[in-house]
Amino acid sequence: GAVVSQHPSRVICKSGTSVKIECRSLDFQATTMFWYRQFPKQSLMLMATSNEGSKATYEQGVEKDKFLINHASLTLSTLTVTSAHPEDSSFYICSAREIPDHYEQYFGPGTRLTVT
């Protein structure tokens, strides 16, 4: 149980375009999902907390207009990277917290974004 999927696993896009990444909890409901960014051989950096039915909470320094987060249902959160640039190339990971909260986060397999 407690499986989180991400789609796509890899995406290549041109500079200036937008790309959407989906995060789904497959066998549980999640009121809260988290989005992380990870550079090679570095730690996970929390970008934002996504709450079902409300606006996302962004960490300091994260551009909310560039990284649009939508959490429309208890099993789906999306991250849209708008007007992507090469510096947005990274590995994006989502995680979900189930209801009720058992104090664990379940992680998706990640999405590798390459902006050319």
Cα separation of 58 and 36, whole Å? 11
| Cβ-based neighbours of 42, under 8 Å, separated by 6 or more | none
Cα separation of 70 and 52, whole Å? 8
Which residues 53-82 are close enough to bind another protein by CB under 8 A? none
Least distance to another protein, CB of residue 83, Å: 26
Cα angle 15-10-93, degrees, rounded to a multiple of 5: 100
Q: Minimal CA–CA distance to 74: which of 51, 106, 49, 100?
A: 51
Q: Between 15 and 42, name the residue whose CB sits nearer to another protein.
A: 42
Q: Is 23 in the site for another protein (CB under 8 A)?
A: no
Q: Between 28 and 91, name the residue whose CB sits nearer to another protein.
A: 91
Q: Between 2 and 82, name the residue whose CB sits nearer to another protein.
A: 2
Name the pairing type of β-strands 10-13 and 90-97. unpaired
Which residues 33-52 are close enough to bind another protein by CB under 8 A? 34, 38, 41-44, 46, 49
Residues that bind another protein (CB under 8 A): 32, 34, 38, 41-44, 46, 49, 91, 93, 95, 97, 101, 103-105, 107, 109-110
